[in-house]
Structure formats: structure tokens, C-alpha cells
Structure 1
Amino acid sequence: MFRQAISIASLGSVLLLAACGNGEPEPPPPRPVLVVQPQPASAMRESYPGEVHARYEPELAFRIDGKVSERLVEAGDRVRKDQPLARLDPQDVRLQLDGMRAQVTAAEANLRVAKAEYDRYRALLGRQLVSQSQFDSADNAYRSAAARLQQAQAQFDVASNQVDYAVLRASRDGVIARRSIEVGQVVAAGQTAFVLAADGEREVAINLPEQALERYRIGQEVEVELWSQPGRRYAGQIRELSPAADPNTRTYSARVAFSDQDVPADLGQSALVTVRRAAKVPLAVPLSAISAEREQAFVWRVRNDSTLQRVAVRTGPYGERLVPVLEGLQADDWIVMAGVQLLSEGQPVRPVDRDNRPVELAPQE
């Protein structure tokens, strides 16, 4: 009897508490969900490694054959315009110059004799002591001697220039990018001795694969990221595109010029050139964020009041990790990326990012 009285009292207490709560169960706390924002579809962006070069890189070479007697600079040295870089043994060219000088002297002496003969025959012709044919012969000899002197003088000038050609000079201000000669080496005329990276504009050299060449054109806009400045991108464009593939790598070389000439890019720095395709770049979400019902794909978007909204989307070809979303999303949307099969429309949630930090949603307008 006593136990029955206790049970009735307990039941009365429960009913009293229920009456105080108006009979409504306490709502469950908001469910934590992992959210992300859509990102540009990586399939529409292609990146290629490259190296910073000078816009102008002339190959410097001697204009005559010879043996290198002196090398004055090394790769990486800064040089000024007309600065001597290397010298050839001048003995042979000086001997040629001496020979040409002797020929000039002989031609001058021959011209003086021919001139004296010409003057004498002209005076005798005026007194009618020689025939016209004799005077014409003297005149022709004089003209021939003058021509031989002119020829000898031209050859002397060439030999004189060759003495100057024995010294290789920088064509403009810049840095020696490559050296290809050593002291004692015999070089041919036109053989590359140095490559000069001229001061001024800088650009990035890249190699494009054969199968992707049709997607690129001269003037196409790109983005350049220097590996020494991660996260900072500079605008550029494709300035030059080789019409022929490299026989060894089967790639096409290209040059990318910076749009801003004040970019702090040093010679030899590594860079990453990112090229966007001509089409509009779609957004992409993780594969785990996509659900489907009756052949209609959808995602769960978090509203500004921290409740869920089911949004139908049109997707592109599925990738290994990401799915391009062609329609239905904006770049500033927050999308649930895990546990989507357990969610419902209008459900209150507590959004967190990958680092388990609360996500601040934009206030409702």
C-alpha cells in the first residue's frame, strides 16, 4: 500500500512538471556540419613550370676565326655596353694588316708614276707631239692605278676592322647568362661565345604539351606566380609561341611577358604560369557534397540564419575529388560537404570549417 502511494506521488510530480512545460519537448541543439565554399574548377585551369629570362638574349660571337687568348668575364657577371668580354690572338690579323698596308703603299707609288705619265702625255698631246692613242693609253694606266689604290685601301680597312674584331664586346648593358668558350680554344666566326641577358623587360619561358597547343594563342592572358613570392600572382600574356616542337621533348616553347614591367623578377627564378581556358570557369565542390534524387543532383546550402536549404544544381563531368557545378551556386555560398544523407530542409545547423572553427555567415539583408 505504501509503495503504491509513492508511485502515485511520483506520477503526479511528472504530470506537474509536464504541465509546467506546456507539454512541448525541448528542441535538439543545432547539428554541427562541415562546410566549404565553391572554388574554381581546376579542370579549367592549367599550370606549367617556367624560368624567368630576359626579353632580349643575344648570342655574342667573334666575327673572325682565331684562338682565344683572354677571357675577361664569367657567367653571372654584369657588363656594360662595349665592355670587352674576350680577345683572340691578334698575331695573324696584325700580319694581314701589315700586308695590306704594304699593298696600299705600293699602290700609292704606282699611282704617282701613272699620274706623272698622264700629265706628261697630256702636255705632249697639246703640242701634238704624241698621238691620241698614246695619250689614251697613259690615261687608262692612270685610271687603273687609281682603282688599284682604292682596292688596296678597302682591303686595308677590312684588315683594320678585323683587328678590332679580335676583341669581343658587349652589345648592350646586361648580365652574362651563359659562357661557351675557354682560353686556348680555337673558335670559328659566328660560334657563340656568350649569351647576354639584356637589362630591361623580363619574361617567363615555358614548354607547352603537343596535345594542348590548340588551346593557346599569342596574346592570351595568363597568371604568373614566382616561387620566391608564393600566393602572389602577376598578370601576363603569351608573347611568343614556337611553330615547331622540340625534337627531343616534343613540346612547344613559349614566352610569357609580364603586363607590368616593374615586376620584381630576377633572372633564373622559377615560376608557375597558370592559363585559363577561353570558356567561363565554373565553380566546383567536393564530390562528397553532391547528392542526387530522381536523377537530379543537389547540395545543401547554409542560409544566413544557419538553416539548411536544398539547392538543385547542374553538374559537369565528375573528377576524382571535385565536381564542376555549371548552374545553381555562387562563389560566396557555404555548402555542406560531409554527412549530407542525414540532413533535411530547414534543419538548424552549426557550420564549421576544416579546422573545426565556427563559420561566420553574412547577416541577412
Structure 2
Amino acid sequence: MAHLSRPWAFIVISLFSLAVYADDLTPVSTTLPKQSSIAQTLSLSGSLTAEKRALLSPRVDGLVAEVLVDAGSEVKKGQVLLKLDPAISRQQYAQSQAATAEAKAARDEAARLVKEAERLRKQNYISESEMANRLSNLALSEATLVAMQAAQRSSLEQLRRHELPAPFSGVISAKMTEAGEWINRGTAVLELVATDLVRLDVKVPQERFSDIDKNSPVEVLPDVYPGQRLPAKINAIVPVSDPQARAFLVRVVVDATDISLLPGTSATAVIGLKGKAGQKLIVPRDALLLHPDGGYSLFIVDNGVAKRRQVSIGQQSQDGVSITSGLQLNEHVVIRGNEVLREDQAVTIVNE
């Protein structure tokens, strides 16, 4: 076969090299940072507490027959947690049932005698005095029946109070009694905390009082879940400053519907402050790469080459993450394909 001339061979080799180079380009998607008007954030640490917490005590005095839960048990509202020995109350309830039945029988007999007297009175076989006497006995027997029925309901309620139900759903955090102990009303036997709503109380420096209100954006970073940022809102601001700490209390309610937070653990509240500071840059969360030391970086594309930028982040929101340093407004930030990028790697932008 005839050899290609040198010019044609050079062209073929160049085209082949370009094809190989194009195949080596890593496809990425990019976006430009957005600007945010959030001035700055304030990070404060505190302890998570349950929005609902109750020390449960029995509703009647009695001997503990059975404790149905232990510390750490998850319970639902209305679930029976503890039972007292109901032997005496059960007997009293049986007596009230018998008394009610007796009163009902007496009322029925009095009603029968009245009907009989009405028939006999028409034939003038009994006097008006006897008729009135029978009507009086019927009224007394009906009143007695009503009283016995009320006593029966009271006895039933007393029997039911030998069981201690959960007033709300949550977790038993402490158990202070066992079967066989005698307990009185008002004696705490169980501690119940709700875990669906938790709050974080933080002390804010007094000089920041004018920079925070109930509409300030807040996120909570629980220490038991590193990297998690949970949405929250300020529930209360107590304007009475602590004279020793020169701080006031801010209560933050955490939205923990997708995660289980433990009351008593520590967390950090990141509060967006009001002010006239310069605007911050916002990038999507997918652009950020988390380092083992807790720092963050991202890649930008400069003339078809990936460049890593070490960045500092601020508050996170639905719009993305604010970048406080390390990024310029007009730089193209990689949001897809950044997981496998290396410094100075050639890339091609394939934004949809």
C-alpha cells in the first residue's frame, strides 16, 4: 500500500490527537454565584431541652402492682405506664354496682305500685292519701337510683385511676419506683420527655439585642450529628439581661421531624443578624466539598481548567450556602462532576 504523503500524515495525526484530547476532558456543570443581603451570622452554643417534660405521679395512693416501662422506653399518648393494685377499689366498684341494681329494683317496684294505685283509684278502691304516698315513694326511689348511679361512676373512675397513662408521646427518661412499693399522690414515679419538638436556649451578648428578632433566620447544628444543619425559628426573646453575663436569653425551636434529637445534648445555633454589611455570595450545596478537618473547598473553571478554592462558609438556606471568603462573583463554580476533579484538570462544561 502506498505511503501517505507527509502533509496528509500530519493532518491525520493532528485530528487523532484532538479526538484523544477531547475524550480526556472531564464533563462538569457550572453556575455563577448569587448575591445575598444577609449581613453576618452569630454562632452560639447551648443545650437541647425537650419542649415537653413531665414528672408523672399516680392519681391515687396505692401499692405498685406493675411498672410497664423502663428508662429509654418510647411511649404513645394514652399508653398505660404503671398499674397499682386495684383489689380494694375493684371490690368497692362491685359494691356500687350491687347498690345500683338494688336501687333500680326498688324504683321499678315503686313505679309498679303507682300504676296499680292509679288503676285502683279510678275504681275508688284506695284513698287519695295512699295514692300520694305511693307517688312519694316513687320519687324517693328515683332519687336514690340517681345517687347510686353517680356513686357507681365515681367508683369506676377511682378504679381506672389505678392505671397511669402517658399524657403525651415521648421517651421515659427516668424510672423512680418498682413493683411492691407504696406510693402516694404527688410522688414522682416516672419522667417523660417529648422528642418531637426540642428547643435550644442560648445566651446572646447584650450588644446584639438590636440585631435579632423573631424573624431572624436560624439554623441549628447538633453536635451528635456532625454536618447536619436543621431549620429552626426563634420562639422567644427574653429581654431581661443577665447582669453577670451581660447577655439575654433567646429560645430557638428546632424542626426535628426528619431526625431524632436527644434532649441534654449540645448544639450550636447560627443566627442571621440584621445590618448593612456587604452582600455575600451564595452557591448550591452540591458545589461544596467537605474536608476531614471540617473545612470546605470548591472548584471553579478557569479557561477550561479546574481550580480548587478554599472557602469559608456562613449560613445555609433554601437558596444555598453563603460564602464569606475565597470566591469571586464572576467565577464559574462546578456543581456537578466535582467529586472526581483534581487541581488543574482539563474539563468541558456541559450545562443543560
- TM-score greater than 0.5 by the shorter chain: yes
SS at match of 2:98: helix
Residue 221 (structure 2) aligned to one of 216, 222, 225: 225
Q: Given residue 186 of structure 1, which amino acid in structure 2 is its aligned partner?
A: I
- Aligned CA distance change for structure 1 residues 332 and 84 (closer, same or farther; 3 Å): closer
Aligned pair 1:274/2:280, yes or no?
no
* Deviation per residue, 1:189-248 (Å, 9 max, x gap): x6544343346x3323325479689656545432211112345433311235679999xx
Contact 2:45 2:266 in 1 (8 A): no
Contact 2:39 2:272 in 1 (8 A): no
Residue 47 (structure 1) aligned to one of 44, 47, 52: 44
- Aligned CA distance change for structure 1 residues 254 and 157 (closer, same or farther; 3 Å): farther
Report the Cα offset of residue 76 of structure 1.
0.8
Let me know the Cα RMSD of the aligned residues. 4.1
SS at match of 2:94: helix
Q: Which residue of 1 aligns with 2:151?
A: 155
- Aligned CA distance change for structure 1 residues 130 and 237 (closer, same or farther; 3 Å): same
Aligned pair 1:186/2:187, yes or no?
no
- Whole-angstrom distance in 2 between the partners of 1:102 and 1:242: 59
SS at match of 1:256: strand
Aligned pair 1:145/2:141, yes or no?
yes
Aligned pair 1:202/2:197, yes or no?
yes
Q: Point out where structure 1 has 5 or more consecutive residues left out of the alignment.
A: 1-39, 284-329, 335-359, 361-365
Residue 132 (structure 2) aligned to one of 99, 116, 136: 136
Report the Cα offset of residue 273 of structure 1.
1.9
SS at match of 1:145: helix
Give the number of the structure whose alpha-carbon radius of gyration is greater.
1
Q: Which residue of 1 aligns with 2:62?
A: 66
Contact 2:234 2:252 in 1 (8 A): yes
- Aligned CA distance change for structure 1 residues 161 and 78 (closer, same or farther; 3 Å): same
Aligned length: 244
- Aligned CA distance change for structure 1 residues 163 and 217 (closer, same or farther; 3 Å): farther
- Whole-angstrom distance in 2 between the partners of 1:56 and 1:124: 69
Contact 1:52 1:202 in 2 (8 A): no
Give the number of the structure whose residues are more often strand, by fraction: 2
- Whole-angstrom distance in 1 between the partners of 2:122 and 2:237: 75
Q: Given residue 271 of structure 1, which amino acid in structure 2 is its aligned partner?
A: A
- Whole-angstrom distance in 2 between the partners of 1:103 and 1:212: 72
- Whole-angstrom distance in 1 between the partners of 2:81 and 2:190: 9
Contact 1:203 1:255 in 2 (8 A): no
Q: Given residue 224 of structure 1, which amino acid in structure 2 is its aligned partner?
A: V
- Whole-angstrom distance in 1 between the partners of 2:324 and 2:70: 52
- Aligned CA distance change for structure 1 residues 333 and 78 (closer, same or farther; 3 Å): closer
Residue 71 (structure 2) aligned to one of 50, 61, 75: 75
Contact 1:45 1:277 in 2 (8 A): yes
Q: Given residue 83 of structure 2, which amino acid in structure 1 is its aligned partner?
A: R
Residue 166 (structure 2) aligned to one of 143, 164, 170: 170
Q: Given residue 227 of structure 1, which amino acid in structure 2 is its aligned partner?
A: D
SS at match of 1:50: strand
Contact 2:219 2:271 in 1 (8 A): yes
* Deviation per residue, 1:297-328 (Å, 9 max, x gap): xxxxxxxxxxxxxxxxxxxxxxxxxxxxxxxx
- Whole-angstrom distance in 1 between the partners of 2:106 and 2:213: 66
Contact 2:44 2:203 in 1 (8 A): no
SS at match of 2:126: coil
Report the Cα offset of residue 256 of structure 1.
2.4
Residue 86 (structure 1) aligned to one of 82, 86, 91: 82
Contact 1:86 1:168 in 2 (8 A): yes
- Aligned CA distance change for structure 1 residues 115 and 252 (closer, same or farther; 3 Å): farther
- Aligned CA distance change for structure 1 residues 165 and 259 (closer, same or farther; 3 Å): closer
Report the Cα offset of residue 82 of structure 1.
4.5
Report the Cα offset of residue 148 of structure 1.
1.4
Q: Given residue 48 of structure 2, which amino acid in structure 1 is its aligned partner?
A: E
SS at match of 1:63: coil
- Aligned CA distance change for structure 1 residues 140 and 217 (closer, same or farther; 3 Å): farther
- Whole-angstrom distance in 2 between the partners of 1:157 and 1:230: 55
Q: Point out where structure 2 has 5 or more consecutive residues left out of the alignment.
A: 1-37, 280-322, 328-343, 345-352
Aligned pair 1:257/2:242, yes or no?
no
